[in-house]
Amino acid sequence: MLTGAAGGIGAAIARELLAQGATVHGVDRDPDGLSALAQEFPGRFIPYCADLADRSATDRMLGQLDTALAGRCDILVNNAGVARVQAFVSSEDALLDRLLAVNFMAVFRVTRALVPALRASRRASVINIASELALVGQPGYTAYSATKGAILAFSRALATELAAEGIRVNAVCPGPIDTPMLAGEFKLADDPVAARAGEIASVPLGRLGVPGDIAGVVAFLASDAAGFVTGAAWPVDGGKTAR
């Protein structure tokens, strides 16, 4: 099961898992993106349209998903997330509420609902998509960083709680990934071209990441090759947080 499945990193994760032979139940609030994947992979990508900030919509989706999964889930990828650049002193409660609802509360509630199905798997893996900004600070991202930091703490605690049942829990911390979300952030800068160039210059590998960079690590963490890996945070950032 994959949240935030319709675009950017999520669509790359969906395609990678599908390439590995998985059936992917994908949730997103973008019906067009979901439809495109469902048409590309008929019968193997199962779409669910829901805004995970809406608890009622999430509960309805979880009810549908429970029936479709028939009691078993091998992989859960909590990828859905939202970001917004805003100075701390001018930040609004509505912004914090939205970021918490999608970036943390949805992860908590979806994972809790799927624990019974994860228990039925012999090799269940939960992968939570956090951020480099859960590891380092950056101006304008206080609310976003707080929600992604919560994901790391949640992942570590849950890994210890579910380990005895054979359920592994890990987090992936993407750096700057070339997606529409990042492009939108560049557009907010006084000089978008300079902002993009500056971001690239901050990465030791000298480029922005691509969604496939994240998808490959997620597929590894979902696989038996990572069978002894749990409670870890995996930076996938071209070395940016190593500085």
pLDDT tens sequence across 45-63: 999 999 999 999 999 999 9
Is a pLDDT exceeding 90 seen at residue 17? yes
Distance in angstroms (rounded) separating the CA atoms of residues 22 and 15: 10
Is 144 annotated in the active site?
A: yes
Per DSSP, 169 falls in state E
The domain defined by 2-178+210-237 carries CATH number 3.10.20.30: no
> Residue 164: how many CB atoms within 10 A of its CB?
7
Residue 180 is predicted with a pLDDT of: 82
The percentage of the chain sitting over the pLDDT mark of 90, rounded to a whole number, equals 87
Q: Which of these is catalytic: 45, 48, 144, 234?
A: 144
Query: Where are the domains positioned within the chain?
Result: 2-178+210-237
Distance in angstroms (rounded) separating the CA atoms of residues 178 and 65: 31
- Quote the longest CA-to-CA distance of the chain: 52
Average pLDDT, the chain: 95
Is a pLDDT exceeding 90 seen at residue 216? yes
Per DSSP, 6 falls in state S
The percentage of the chain sitting over the pLDDT mark of 70, rounded to a whole number, equals 100
Residue 41 is predicted with a pLDDT of: 97
